[in-house]
């Protein structure tokens, strides 16, 4: 009965999948899928904590099909269905010939995790260029748009923390350039005022000298 109840939820859950897996969004896709799998009590089928029971059980010397194994296989296939509902044609190509949820998950991690970490490193390098004032505002916008792909889970937490810190440091160089420009304009205005005052003083002195001569 419990299995039937979970099965009835699958169509509505599949409509909740908004991000389709590709080579550029693995971390976003993963963060989307994990809560759905946890809600369906299927997370163990992808993280390896749910172990497949024996196919048969023996009681009083008589072997018979294990109902726990049958239930486990059914749950594993529900997991596969949820995963595949979020695939693109590109990601389907990575799992050809795989039928178990854990196999599929490991294949996807092997295919996309490294590229995601490389992408994070590239973004960090771009941020360093921005903080040095080398990159242009347009490039800064590109890095900002890419930021949601960052992962904030466990093994990548330190990378994400470092990334966020660098992101906060992006603004000061541009702000400083703006402030420097304002200060420069203020200094020019002050210099102009001083020159005008000096000219007025010189004119007054000349007028006084002319009056004395008269």
Question: Does residue 82 contact residue 14 with C-beta atoms inside 8 Å?
Answer: yes
Question: Does residue 32 contact residue 19 with C-beta atoms inside 8 Å?
Answer: yes
Residue 156's alpha-carbon distances to 186, 196, 210, in angstroms, are 47, 62, 83
d(CA 104, CA 69): 20
Residue-range domain boundaries for the chain = 2-169
Predicted pLDDT at 163: 43
Low-confidence ranges of the chain (pLDDT < 70): 1-8, 114-126, 131-192, 207-214
Q: pTM for this structure? A: 0.55
21 beta partners = 87
In this structure, the number of other CB atoms found within 10 A of the CB of residue 14 comes to: 14
| Model confidence pLDDT, tens digit, residues 131-189 | 666 555 555 554 444 554 444 444 444 444 544 454 444 444 434 444 455 454 556 66
Predicted pLDDT at 102: 97
Beta-carbon-side half-sphere exposure of residue 138 (alpha carbons within 13 Å):
0
Q: At what angle do helices 26-39 and 101-131 cross, to 10 degrees?
A: 140
Predicted pLDDT at 57: 95
Residue 199 has which token pair? 């000219």
């Amino acid at each position: 009965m419990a299995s039937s109840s979970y099965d009835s939820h699958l169509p509505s859950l599949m409509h909740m999948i908004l991000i389709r897996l590709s080579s550029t969004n693995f971390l976003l896709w993963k963060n989307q899928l994990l809560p759905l799998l946890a809600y369906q009590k299927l997370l163990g089928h992808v993280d390896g904590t749910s172990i497949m029971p024996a196919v048969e059980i023996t009681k009083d010397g008589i072997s018979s099909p294990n109902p726990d194994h049958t239930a486990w296989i059914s749950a594993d296939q529900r997991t596969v269905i949820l995963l595949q509902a979020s695939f693109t044609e590109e990601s389907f190509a990575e799992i050809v010939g795989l039928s178990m949820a854990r196999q599929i998950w490991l294949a996807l991690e092997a295919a996309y995790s490294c590229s995601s970490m490389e992408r994070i490193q590239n973004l960090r390098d771009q941020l360093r260029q921005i903080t040095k004032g080398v990159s242009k505002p347009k490039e800064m916008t590109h890095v900002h748009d890419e930021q949601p792909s960052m992962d904030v889970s466990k093994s990548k937490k330190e990378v994400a923390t470092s990334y966020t810190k660098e992101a906060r440091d992006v603004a000061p160089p541009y702000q400083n350039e703006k402030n420097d420009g304002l200060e420069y304009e203020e200094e020019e205005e002050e210099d102009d005022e001083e020159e005008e005052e000096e000219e007025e003083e010189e004119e007054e002195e000349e007028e006084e000298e002319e009056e004395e001569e008269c």
